[in-house]
Amino acid sequence: MRRTAGSCLPALCAGLLAGCIASNVVATEDRAVLRPVAELPFVAAPELVLDGLYESIEITGDAALALRRIYYLFRPDGTYTAAALTEGERGAAFQTLSGTWTNTAAGLSLDGADPVRLERADEHLRITAANGAVVLRRSAAP
């Protein structure tokens, strides 16, 4: 009887310890790497005066097939300059462009094109076009 109790003692201790140490198994739903962009409280931003440097943190839609990163530098005088890192048949390449922007109740218009939806959440902007959307985060001034 004493031998049995002695052999059970380590197991008993282990059992007690197990009760004190929480499991740290990654739950199945937490295995994926997620970005909390979807939780940002975006609201429409009509007539918002754009000003500052923005960097994309998420691109969705068909545009995401070739777009890897976008940078916009908006100026409050209605001009902007931008760069996009794209990936095509010939590999990755930057595109740069400069132009004008207007933001009205109809949406954001770049270079006089049809307006697209512009939304804002804190330091983030979301621009939604026909073939994709981009979420931009304000960056430190260059």
Partner 1 sequence: MTRTLLQWLGVAFVLGLVGLAAFALTVVKDRVRIVVQADAASTGPEPVVLLRDDLGVVARDLAELRSALGANLERLGNALEERAVARHADVQALARELAAVRQRLDAQAASLQRAEQQLLPRPEAAATAATEPAPVVAPPAPVAAEAAPAKTGGFLSFSLPATTFAFDREQRYQLVPELCRVGFDAKSTLHDFSGVTSQVAGQFTADFDDPEGAWRGEVTCEAGSLVTGVDGRDANMREYLATTEHPQIRFEIQRFVPAAGGVDVARQTARGEIEGRMQIRGVTRDLRMPVSVEVDASRRVVVSGQAPLKLSDYQVPVPSQLGVINMQDDVVIWISLRARVQVGDRK
Q: Which residues bind partner 1 (CB under 8 A)?
A: 10-11, 13-14, 17-18, 21-26, 28, 31-33, 58-67, 70, 82, 84, 86-91, 95, 97, 99, 110-111, 113, 116, 127, 129, 131-132, 134
- As measured in angstroms, the least distance from the Cβ of 47 to partner 1 is 19
List of long-range contacts for 104-108, beta carbons under 8 Å, 24+ apart: 104/46, 104/47, 105/46, 105/47, 107/46, 108/50
Return d(Cα 72, Cα 48) in angstroms, integer: 15
- As measured in angstroms, the least distance from the Cβ of 103 to partner 1 is 13
Nearer to partner 1, 88 or 142 (CB): 88
Angstrom CA distances, 108 to 43, 48, 49, 67, 135, stand at 14, 9, 10, 20, 14
Nearer to partner 1, 82 or 121 (CB): 82
